[in-house]
Amino acid sequence: MKSSRELDVVVYGATGFTGRLVAEYLNNQYGVNGEIKWAMAGRSQAKLESVRDEMGIAKEIPLLVADADDQSSIDAMVLRSKVILTTVGPYQLHGKELVATCAEQGTDYVDLCGEPAWMHKMIAAHGERAKASGARIVFSCGFDSIPFDLGVLFLQHTAEQQLGGMVPRVKGRVRSMQGTFSGGTLASFRATMAAAGRDPEMIKVLRNPFALSDGFVGADQPLGNQPEFDESLQSWIAPFIMASINTKNIHRSNKLLGHAYGADFVYDEMLVTGPGERGEAVAKAVMEDTSMATDPRQPGEGPSLEERVNGHYDVLMIGEAADGRSLRVSVKGDMDPGYGSTAKMIAESAVCLVLNPQLAGGGIWTPAPAMGTALIERLQANAGLTFAVES
């Protein structure tokens, strides 16, 4: 039984850059004798010990040796914990066996995946088994896609209170963001592009906003691939690099919520670049930027503590009702999106699953339908996120 397992959360990939930040957060937030029993896992016992000692983590925190190339070690890790928190990406290269094992053994799972084609395959391959075993597998528990997925949910709950019902149209607008994408995100992007070059079917998945919606096809969606002037903001807006994954997750959330947002729900996501000629020029520069394809950073590399602490993000959600009424909510994070805030978000996602076994049944989920308001409350209380109504 999952409820009788000795550990609540295992951080798999704890010696990597993001994994270390997650372990540091759990240590600071929950310590050794807190409400969560957690452990660190990775390929090397010596490296785990070195990282643990370097970070000042107590020797009472268990260390587990597990390697994606050694299935028996993965099995042993999965059977000891209620939740596996994995930062080992790209997931399309290193994650398939772990998802399969969690689905088979009824173990909950959270990751930082922003790889929709791989997620599409995992849903098809393991979704039914996860339902049967009770495993709650939740993809995309970092900057992609928690602020956006939960931001839409928060807006819709606000719309119910203020407008009398959920709205059929939501605009996601990134007003500001300070911080770089992680080396892992860049590696995932490169792996996805390489795989798409080998498999034309993958390109169809990447282009389809409903690729993760179990065959459902809804209303036509904005392409979001060109700069444009947004009248509601009186500002230019540009394509946002994370929109491809976030929009798919949000449409999956809508589907898993029984199309609570409506069968014809429309969502898009853009980056706000400002008014006037300067805003237009910045928007065009963003569209033409190809630096992600050439950025040399690799998984395990990341910014300094000062850069993480000085980072932030501000996402505006604009909801539009059919009768013309509208409302706005914001989601803000107090650290850089790709590392500092992401580490806190995935850690609290894992803890939320542990402390709320009644939330959701087995299956492959997105954050909003799996954890909803319970996770919003944890993120606001512990992880430096704020969800606020602006109008």
The pLDDT tens digits of the residues spanning 291-332 come to 665 666 666 677 788 888 889 999 999 999 999 999 999 999
Residue 212 shares a structural domain with residue 284: yes
- Asked whether residue 301 is domain-assigned, the answer is yes
- Asked whether residue 379 is domain-assigned, the answer is no
- Asked whether residue 377 is domain-assigned, the answer is no
The pLDDT score that the predictor gives to residue 372 is 98
Between 290 and 9, whose confidence is greater? 9
Residue 300 shares a structural domain with residue 352: no
Residue 317 shares a structural domain with residue 360: no
User: What are the CB-based long-range contacts (under 8 Å, 24+) for 55-63?
Assistant: 55/20, 55/23, 55/24, 55/27, 56/27, 57/23, 57/24, 57/27, 58/27, 58/31, 58/32, 60/32, 61/27, 61/32, 62/7, 63/39
Provide, rounded to the nearest whole percent, the portion of the chain with pLDDT above 70. 93
* 194 has a pLDDT exceeding 80: no
Confidence band of 205 (pLDDT split at 50, 70, 90):
confident
Q: What pTM does this model have?
A: 0.94
Residue 264 shares a structural domain with residue 154: yes
CATH number at residue 107: 3.40.50.720
- Asked whether residue 315 is domain-assigned, the answer is yes
Residue 198 shares a structural domain with residue 180: yes
Q: How many domains does the chain have?
A: 2
Residue 85 shares a structural domain with residue 217: no
- Asked whether residue 191 is domain-assigned, the answer is yes
Closest residue by Cα to residue 366 from 114, 190, 92, 166:
114
How many CB atoms are closer than 10 A to CB 124?
A: 11
Residue 138 shares a structural domain with residue 115: yes
- Asked whether residue 289 is domain-assigned, the answer is yes
Residue 218 shares a structural domain with residue 273: yes
Q: CA-CA distance, 353 to 370, in Å (whole number)?
A: 9
* 188 has a pLDDT exceeding 70: no
Residue 6 shares a structural domain with residue 133: yes
Residue 192 shares a structural domain with residue 276: yes
Between 1 and 351, whose confidence is greater? 351
Between 187 and 125, whose confidence is greater? 125
Residue 65 shares a structural domain with residue 47: yes
Between 142 and 194, whose confidence is greater? 142
The pLDDT tens digits of the residues spanning 138-150 come to 999 999 999 999 9
Mean pLDDT, residues 33-47: 95
Residue 227 shares a structural domain with residue 349: no
- Asked whether residue 237 is domain-assigned, the answer is yes
- Asked whether residue 165 is domain-assigned, the answer is yes
The pLDDT score that the predictor gives to residue 181 is 62
The pLDDT tens digits of the residues spanning 159-177 come to 999 999 999 999 999 999 9
Residue 15: domain span = 2-142+344-371
